[in-house]
Amino acid sequence: MPYQSFDLHLQGAVAHLQFNRPEQLNVMTADFWAEFGQAVLELDQSGQVRALVISSTGKHFSAGMDLKIFQSPDPQLFQGEPGRRAEAMRRLVLQLQEVFNALEQVRMPVLTAIQGGCIGGALDLVCASDMRYCSADAFFTVKETELGMTADLGTLQRLPRLIADGMARELIYSGRKCYAEEALRLGLVNQVFADHGSLLEGVLALAEQIASHSPLAITGCKQMLNYGRDHSVADSLKMMATWQAGMFHPNDMLQGFAAKMQGKAASYEDLRPLAPEPFKR
């Protein structure tokens, strides 16, 4: 289906979601919040996508939340009985968080390719991806601090798990720009490319390499890595044993061995599609 705030292309088992509003700095409009999470989940539901690349167009990856949303807020958010007003605000923030949580919940790895500014809500997004890559002109900033609010869509929770806690706090408290080479040194990005063109070429090539592997093995890796991040080593090892007991079967491994012996690429079965409404008849 067509989307307003991005284009979506499928090439084999790789999906490429690309923001398409460079003249507006790819800000996150109301259309974005309605479309992005649903598009990502629908790719997962198909079972055919084995890697997702998120990139952008123009000078900047994204300037984050569209400021028009702040300048013309829903008056109901700031009026009425305080308890109900606060409950509604909490629900709204949770709904927006779920849009980026989808990047962790889907079965395929998510790679983000970042050029220029990755600002505010855009940093929330890329922190939720599996891997981040950028061009030499990229920079990252927690813009919300400068604007007088606390970032609320995941940066505060995820950034300290990606880089050293003290450096995460410095970037969050100061709101300063973190440029590409520093981001690489801190471990926020995996690689810095010379320009936007080579960035896209390199990230799409890596996505194709990931997509060539068993999707069952890859989704198992993602599930266990995410679980291990949030649990103790002991609990994570127990979960790993449980996963293997239920999910490990030799079919893909034997197919991979056979393909290697024959000097050709293995052709693995897709994951099963997910029913978007499993109990609806």
pLDDT greater than 80 at residue 78? no
Mean pLDDT across the stretch 263-276? Answer: 88
**Which pLDDT score, from 0 to 100, does residue 277 have?**
64
Mean pLDDT across the stretch 268-280? Answer: 78
**Which pLDDT score, from 0 to 100, does residue 252 have?**
86
What is the tens place of the pLDDT at every residue in 175-202? 999 999 999 999 999 999 999 999 999 9
Mean pLDDT across the stretch 90-106? Answer: 96
How far is residue 132's CA from residue 61's CA, in Å, rounded to a whole number? 12
Angle at 116 between CA 40 and CA 168, to 5 degrees: 80
What is the tens place of the pLDDT at every residue in 245-259? 988 888 888 888 888
Least confident range from 187-196, 232-241, 258-267: namely: 258-267
pLDDT greater than 60 at residue 221? yes
β-pairing, 139-141 vs 117-119, is parallel
Q: Which pLDDT band holds residue 278 (cuts at 50, 70, 90)?
A: low
How far is residue 58's CA from residue 80's CA, in Å, rounded to a whole number? 42
pLDDT greater than 50 at residue 281? no
pLDDT greater than 90 at residue 110? yes
Coil/strand/helix, residue 211 = helix
How far is residue 153's CA from residue 180's CA, in Å, rounded to a whole number? 22
Burial (CB < 10 A; 0-12, 13-18, 19+), residue 156, is middle
Sign, Cα dihedral of 258, 260, 262, 266: positive
